[in-house]
């Protein structure tokens, strides 16, 4: 859950500041100091296990592998050309962290590539990041080819592992994937399920 402007208390007062917009999805998180590309920014602390939600972050390949950030970081918006990475690849949650993918000047809005953590988005949306490489529709890593994922600076290891598993299976001949997982066939045009594929006949 995101705090409102009235209830907001900064969780990283020396690193970031939330800029509240007039609409629910208009807010952003701006850097309060300069960060170099590759620099460690902060650990992901104060997390709590959570059902999948539009504010949660996936942290592994399982259906229950989701956490709420419970901090200013929930205001980091999506970009198809992100400037930070949410790295949850370590099996040790105390090692999960945010780092800079490019130089961040003071006042720069922080952005990350949502499919770098999310296999299938809880809430699909039309992207308005304005990047030259904008994907237009953000549905999750399951709906993207490998080459598109590889362009985005960083993808968590569990997402790559899920992609490996996904590429090794086909939907059963004559079966509608919607009956199996509710998501339908992958728009990648390969007749593969974007959620829970089953071996081919």
* Residue-level pLDDT, tens digit, the chain, 201 residues: 576 777 888 899 899 999 998 876 789 999 999 999 999 999 999 999 999 999 999 999 999 999 999 999 999 999 999 999 999 999 999 999 999 999 999 999 999 999 999 999 999 999 999 999 999 999 999 999 999 999 999 999 999 999 988 766 543 333 334 333 433 444 444 444 444 444 433
Domain that holds residue 58: 16-167
In a domain, residue 1? The reply is no
CA–CA separation, 170 and 199 (whole Å): 6
Assess whether 181 and 138 both reside in one domain. Answer: no
Assess whether 163 and 173 both reside in one domain. Answer: no
Closest C-alpha to 110, from 29, 177, 45, 51: 29
Assess whether 22 and 82 both reside in one domain. Answer: yes
CA–CA separation, 22 and 184 (whole Å): 35
In a domain, residue 123? The reply is yes
The count of domains in the chain is 2
Residue 115, judged by CB atoms within 10 A of its CB (0-12, 13-18, 19+), counts as buried
In a domain, residue 47? The reply is yes
Assess whether 148 and 173 both reside in one domain. Answer: no
In a domain, residue 2? The reply is no
Under a CB-based contact definition with an 8 Å cutoff, are residues 56 and 71 in contact?
A: no
Assess whether 136 and 197 both reside in one domain. Answer: no
pLDDT of 133: 94
């Amino acid at each position: 859950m995101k705090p409102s402007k009235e209830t907001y208390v900064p969780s990283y007062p020396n690193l970031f500041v939330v800029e509240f917009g007039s609409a629910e999805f208009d807010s952003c998180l701006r850097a309060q100091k300069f960060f170099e590309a590759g620099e460690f920014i902060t650990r992901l602390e104060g997390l709590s296990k959570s059902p999948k939600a539009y504010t949660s972050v996936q942290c592994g390949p399982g259906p229950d592998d989701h956490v709420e950030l419970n901090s200013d970081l929930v205001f980091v918006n999506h970009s198809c050309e992100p400037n930070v990475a949410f790295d949850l690849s370590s099996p040790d949650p105390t090692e999960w962290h945010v780092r800079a993918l490019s130089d961040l000047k003071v006042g720069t809005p922080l952005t990350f590539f949502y499919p770098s953590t999310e296999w299938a988005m809880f809430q699909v949306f039309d992207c308005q990041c304005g990047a030259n490489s904008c994907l237009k529709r953000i549905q999750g890593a399951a709906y993207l080819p490998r080459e598109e994922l590889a362009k985005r600076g960083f993808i968590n290891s569990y997402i790559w592992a899920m992609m490996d598993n996904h590429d090794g299976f086909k939907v059963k001949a004559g079966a509608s994937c919607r009956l199996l997982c509710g998501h339908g066939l992958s728009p990648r045009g390969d007749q593969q399920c974007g959620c829970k594929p089953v071996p081919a006949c």
